[in-house]
A and B are shown apart, each in its own frame.
Chain A
Amino acid sequence: MKKLEQELENLKHRIAEMGDLVQSMVEEAVAALSHPQESEHHQRVLADEERLDQMQLEVDKETIRLLTVYGPVAGNLRLVITAARINSELERIGDQTVSMCNHIGLLVSQSDTPPMEQFTGMAKLVRTMLHETLKAFRLDDAVKARATMANDNLVDVINDEVVRELLGVDRKAPGSDPAKDVAASVAQIMISQSLERIADQACNVCEQIIYMVEGTDIRHRG
């Protein structure tokens, strides 16, 4: 195998490793939804985030080095550019898992209300999307990337439903603290937003996979 090919394989491998770490962070954040009183999930997400940030810096440095040293063209160039962009998306997904855990903590501290039931279905969709996205990346599979993106609409629908429900229902119970009610509702909305953003970011990764494989930029096409 040529040296550049080997280096590009290594780069892909490092992105895939980041993907595995991000997946496990999402798993932890989803576990925190099911067990909001257990703080260890939050702790693990925070520890993983440090590793993820470090990996982002390393991959960033590596992509710059590959561009500088090899001046890649065509598919090789698209791979390096794509790796740099996916690197950022994965790091942001990591940030969303931290945000989710923070808001689960806020919810628990302000209210006895558990995280909303809709999150179960939403989380399942998001996990599947992320899993399929990373699989498409490993396999250079643009078809799988396109199919995965279709699930984003379902996540958006649930997110809209959650927001509508929280805005439209008078949740004030007799004797409750209005400030705490608002805080709990905001926390629920933010959790929903985080899941919705993770799905968006998985879509962004899928767009990059399609660009990497086909050279077609499908962003901002409505």
Chain B
Amino acid sequence: MIANTADSDTQTAYSIQTRNLDLWYGDFQALKDVSIDVRPCLITSLIGPSGCGKTTLLRCFNRINERYGNVTTTGEVKILGRDIYDKDVSLPELRKSVGMVFQRPNPLPISIYRNVLFGIRTHTSRRQYTRYEYDEMVESALRDVQLWDEVKDRLKDKATRLTLEQQQKLCIARLLPLAPRVLLMDEPCSALDAEGTERVETLIAELKERYTILIVTHNMAQARRVSDECIFMLLGDIIEHGKTAELFLNPKQEQTEMYIEGRYG
């Protein structure tokens, strides 16, 4: 179980820490000796060419890599100071604390209202909250993702009837009633048009004050625009981790420079 109190933040300046993290798919090593420190209340982007391990690394942080067979993970992954690969860690509790948004919006084919509450209802007993409290959760979550005004009069409509941008915002809203501390986003704008991308980026920037946000993106312009820090990966290695403006202006590693200049990848 992941500590969900402010005290845990005072124990460490970082929300996510890995030490000597290795991951194999069968005999293919996808992550090599990964040691990173991710700060809270910032947006950190994972960038690198296809197959460099950025999505694999992201998936370590809520242990959904384990859903795929033949995965071996060694090393340490701490979230909010707690090693999430400890034997006594509860996966449902971990995934309450560490929410995830995927490339394509994946709303359930049920109402907007029930989508927002799906997570909290799965994680709590049936009578834990009153109808009024549920209503408040739905409004608060939809307001946080700037969707309330657009959908407040049609909460019973199927979520699958929303635009892709609205669906992706709904997928973010669905995480919020669980009071997560970390939001993992795997190319959250790749299915959206330019305007939808801009609005979701604005939303992500507004959420960063309350969460640790880690984004995988293949879009370097997006990484530059939205993130405070960037981690550049190549062939499963962490090549460079720094403040975004600094990394794109004055990269310390030659591989980083070659990648951001478009000379490979």
- Using CB atoms and an 8 Å cutoff, list the residues of chain A in contact with chain B: 2-3, 64-65, 68-71
Contacts and interface: CB of A to CB of B under 8 A. Distances in A.
B245 interface: yes
Contact of A68 (B198, B202, B205, B249): B249
A2 B201 CA distance: 11
A64 B205 CA distance: 21
A64 to B, nearest CB: 6
A68 B198 CA distance: 18
A70 B220 CA distance: 10
B202 A69 contact: no
Nearest to B223: A69
A65 B228 CA distance: 12
A71 B224 CA distance: 9
A69 B260 CA distance: 12
Interface residues of B, number: 10
Contacts of B224: 68-71
Contact of A69 (B198, B205, B225): B225
22 contacts: A2-B198, A2-B202, A3-B202, A3-B205, A3-B225, A64-B245, A64-B249, A65-B245, A65-B249, A68-B224, A68-B245, A68-B248, A68-B249, A69-B224, A69-B225, A69-B244, A69-B245, A69-B248, A70-B224, A70-B225, A71-B221, A71-B224
A11 B52 CA distance: 37
A11 B152 CA distance: 38
Interface string B222-265: 00110000000000000000001100110000000000000000
A69 B205 CA distance: 14
A68 B205 CA distance: 18
List the 3 closest A-B pairs by CB distance, nearest first. Answer: A68-B249, A65-B245, A69-B224
Contacts of A71: 221, 224
A65 B224 CA distance: 10
Contacts of A69: 224-225, 244-245, 248
Contacts of A64: 245, 249
Nearest to A71: B221
Contacts of B221: 71
Nearest to B249: A68
A138 B247 CA distance: 33
Interface in B196-228: 198, 202, 205, 221, 224-225
Nearest to A69: B224
Contacts of A70: 224-225
A3 B227 CA distance: 13
Instruction: Report which residue of A68, A70, A71 has the largest number of chain B beta carbons within 10 angstroms of its beta carbon.
Output: A68
B56 to A, nearest CB: 27
A178 to B, nearest CB: 56
Contacts of B225: 3, 69-70
A80 to B, nearest CB: 14
A71 B219 CA distance: 13
Nearest to B201: A3
A118 B160 CA distance: 78
A71 B261 CA distance: 13
Nearest to A70: B225
Contacts of B205: 3
